[in-house]
Structure 1
Amino acid sequence: MRIEETGIPGAFAVTPHLLPDDRGSFHEGMRADKLEQVLGAPFVPRQISYSVSGRDTLRGIHTTAVPPGQAKYVTCVHGALRDIIVDLRVGSPAFGRHHVCTLDARSGRSLYIPEGVGHGFLALADDTRICYVMSTVYAPGTQIDIDPFDPRLDLPWGLTAAPRMSKKDTEARSLAETLEAGLLPAWQGTGV
């Protein structure tokens, strides 16, 4: 597998080596030892969650307050999506910058998203299914939601139709409002 740093410090794109044969293919979706080599720290899964979305569903931008913080390893296991991560760590050299990539089941590509980095996606196909491997369990009241259409972020969603969104995402605060409310985590090197 190939692990490459994105333009967001501590966030990595992981591309597996596919082994195709006449039955289909096989690949390693995650190798903690290889991931930990580039992270310089352990990644211990504490929760695995899934979402299923129809085409043109937009989810995010979401992160978790620190503490408890939550790193994520995100993989599309069916369908395809445009994945966008945003550095929300106050003081980070990449604060407010984003990274965009396509995740799809065919490639097996994944993203490692460190604590304090926001995540969102647009489903590009019906029945798009995402697997989230997370470093902490869900803690009610710790979710931070940022407006995915915040003009300051200018995220390239590439919409071809009006997106389906949750009420909490359509009512999410802007980056400036969230910053002013003191909700964003502080940058502490390549981690949070």
Structure 2
Amino acid sequence: MKTTETKLKGCFVLEPIVFKDDRGYFFESFNANTFNASVGQKINFVQDNQSFSSKGVVRAIHYQTGEFAQAKLVRVLSGRVLDIAVDLRQDSSTFGQHIAIELSAENKKQLFVPRGFGHGFSVLSDTAEFFYKCDNFYNKASEGGIIYNDPELNIDWKLPINEIKVSQKDLELPTLEHAQL
């Protein structure tokens, strides 16, 4: 597994070694020993989540706070998404900065999003099936979010504005300036 740290400290892109032949392909999508050595810390994933979305869906910048903060390892099982990680660690030199990476069933890349980050994605293909591992259980009282079109973050979701589909809940999220981190 090739692991590359992004400009946001602790946030990594992982690319598996894919073995292909005339029958198809095989790759190891997760190995705790390899993963922990790659990111330089022991992560114990306790919850898997999966979503299915249609083209134009933007799932805004979500995060968990306090003792329920979550690290995530995300990937796409079918389709193509633009995946976004935002550094929300107030003591970080990259606070408020984000990275964007295309994840797809074809490129098989994964993104490790550490605790203290917000996460979201936009669906670039007709449909996409998105899968992620979390190192902490979801807690509704600890959830937070930032609106997808926050001018301070200035995220390019790689979709025409008239094609963007956002849930009512995500449309009501605050800007980074007003978010409770």
TM-score tier (shorter): over 0.9
Q: Which residue of 2 aligns with 1:45?
A: 45
Q: Which residue of 2 aligns with 1:187?
A: none
CA distance in 1, matches of 2:35, 2:17: 15
Q: Which residue of 1 aligns with 2:163?
A: 162
Q: CA deviation at 1:41?
A: 2.1
5+ residue gaps, structure 1: 185-192
CA distance in 2, matches of 1:48, 1:95: 27
What CA RMSD, in Å, does the superposition of the two structures yield over aligned residues?
1.1
Question: 1:66-91 deviations in whole A, cap 9, x for unaligned?
Answer: 21210000010000001111101111
Aligned length: 180
Q: Which residue of 2 aligns with 1:141?
A: 141
CA distance in 2, matches of 1:43, 1:169: 29
Q: Does 1:65 align with 2:65?
A: yes
Three-state SS of the structure 1 residue aligned to 2:141 is coil
Q: CA deviation at 1:126?
A: 2.3
Q: Which residue of 1 aligns with 2:9?
A: 9
5+ residue gaps, structure 2: none
CA distance in 2, matches of 1:107, 1:157: 19
Question: 1:25-63 deviations in whole A, cap 9, x for unaligned?
Answer: 111112221221133321111100101000010002011
The 10-residue stretch of structure 1 (113-122 or 156-165) with the greater mean CA deviation from structure 2: 156-165
Q: Which residue of 2 aligns with 1:125?
A: 125
Runs (4+) of structure 1 moved beyond 3 Å? Answer: none
Three-state SS of the structure 1 residue aligned to 2:140 is coil
Read off the aligned partner of 2:149 and give its amino acid letter. F
Contact 1:146 1:175 in 2 (8 A): yes
Q: CA deviation at 1:139?
A: 1.1
Contact 1:71 1:115 in 2 (8 A): yes
Three-state SS of the structure 1 residue aligned to 2:166 is coil
Q: CA deviation at 1:157?
A: 1.0
Contact 1:88 1:96 in 2 (8 A): yes
Q: Which residue of 1 aligns with 2:175?
A: 174
Q: Which residue of 2 aligns with 1:85?
A: 85
Contact 1:66 1:116 in 2 (8 A): no
TM-score, reference length from structure 1:
0.90
